[in-house]
Structures are given as structure tokens and as C-alpha cells.
Amino acid sequence: MEHFFGEEWEIVPAGGATGEAYFAQFEQQRLFLKRNSSPFLAVLSAEGIVPKLVWTKRMENGDVVTAQQWLNGRELKAVDMNDERVAKLLNKIHSSKPLLAMLMRIGKPPLQPESLLNMVNTQLDPSLRHHDYVQKGLQFLHTSIEQIDCEEVTVCHCDVNHNNWLLTEDNQLYLIDWDGAMIADPAIDLGMLLYWYIPEDQWEEWVQRYGLQLTDHLRLRMKWYVIAQTLHFIQWHKSKERYSEMDKWIEFLTAVLD
């Protein structure tokens, strides 16, 4: 990474799960660097969904490094997820034709409910299958799958955790970390956001700010995808031996199903 810059630049790891992100600074120039980031970062930048893309360069080993504006700001807090700007930006993302065209161009197939259910079924350890609420969740997925139809798939972020929302000092909101993006039912993003952050008696108002009506069908789709994602997270944390996190997701699954 250092050979892109002179010795006067300070380059430090930015953390994160992949270890592929860095901060670079020289005097007043500041950049956020990432190795092999999502290939549609340029479209996200053009749409104003992520901080501005400054340049893209290919390294000798074939890796691609992108540089974005490094902006002062903060991650959203859990309470901030009820902000109207979150609903508006998520709607903008789900409505973006350029984003959808780019993901289709690079060969991302739409995520079908059947594929997601098959993945969950394949991944789950036998020991987890004995848990009452895991069984209950699987039963709900199987019995409801025929009703999980969506007329229009969109680009979905698939990890709308509050830590992935950046509010800058000039009050600009961005959604970052697009490595897990998919073409799918927007209920994937809506469900996890509402179930995790928004009191149920405020769902209708939130969804209206987003630009939809909270129908029974949307409720069913959100619940279906939340349960599927939660079972995936339970298995993932178990495989990493992060049992306290696994227990938190089991507790969350229990609340969704009760």
C-alpha cells in the first residue's frame, strides 16, 4: 500500500473484519483506502450513497485499491435509526436503477427465498437444530415460503447495522461497507432494521417515511427474512465459538417468534 504514496504519508489500518482498509494522511489531505472493495463503489459514489471516490488503482499483484474522501463524522447510534434520513436514504438505495444495473452487469444473481432457506438448512449444526426456537424458526420458514413472493427485487445492503451509517459534520448521511450487497427483496433490509431498532408501534410511520404502506404481506416477508438471517447469524457465531453472541441472537429469535 505504501508505494502509492511518498514517505511523508502516514498510513494506518482502519480496522474492520477484513483487514483491507486503511487511513492515509499527509498534511490536510486525508483518504480512506480499501483493497478489493465492492466493484460498484463508483456507482455508489456517483449516487451520493458513500463518500466520494477519489481514485482507483491496480497493484502489481492484481489487487485493486480505491481511495475515498475521509470525512469527519460519527456512526449512527441505535436511537438514530428512527431518523427520517435513514428511511429516505434506504429508499433511495432500493430505488436506484444504476446500482441495480451494475450488480446485474457483474453477474450477481437475485437471492431467492428457496436459496436462502437451503443455505440455512445446510449450515445449521445438529446441536442447534434441537433448540426449541431454532426448530420453531425453521418450521416458520418452511411453512411460509410459498407466500414470500416479491414483485420487484432491488439492490439490498444486507447489513444495515447502525455502525454502517456515517453522519458527517456537515450533516450528510452515508451507508458504508457494501461487501455483502445483493439483489433481493428489500424486505431483507427493512425487516432487520425495524425488528432490531424500531418499536413495533412505530413501524407503520417509519415505513411510510420510507415510501411504502405496511401491509400484512410486507410484515410476513420481513419476518421471514429476519428469521432466516438470524438463524444464519446464530450458526456463524457458533462456528466462531462466540457463544455469548450466539446466545444474544437466540434471544432475539425468541422475541421475533413469540
Angle at alpha carbon of residue 101, lines to 47 and 51, rounded to 5° = 25
Q: How many domains does the chain have?
A: 2
Same domain as 227, residue 139: yes
Say which CATH number the domain at 239 has. Answer: 3.90.1200.10
Q: In one letter, which amino acid is 131?
A: H
At which of 70, 103, 126 does a domain end? 70
Same domain as 120, residue 82: yes
Options 80, 83, 159, 179, the catalytic residue = 159
Same domain as 171, residue 248: yes
Q: In one letter, which amino acid is 164?
A: N
Report the distance separating Cα 110 and Cα 56, nearest Å. 27
Q: Is the dihedral of CA 16, 68, 161, 118 positive or negative?
A: negative
Same domain as 145, residue 102: yes
- pLDDT of 81: 98
Same domain as 156, residue 43: no
Residue 80 designated active-site: no
The C-alpha cell at 205 is: 410511520
Say which CATH number the domain at 37 has. Answer: 3.30.200.20
- pLDDT of 72: 86
Q: Quick one: CA torsion of 195, 78, 177, 96, rounded to 10 degrees?
A: 60
- pLDDT of 166: 96
Same domain as 140, residue 49: no
- pLDDT of 137: 98
Same domain as 147, residue 238: yes
Nearest to 122 by CA among 17, 228, 29, 201: 228
What are the 10-residue block averages of pLDDT along the chain, 258 residues in total? 62 66 77 76 93 83 81 94 98 97 92 96 94 97 96 95 95 92 97 98 98 97 98 96 97 97
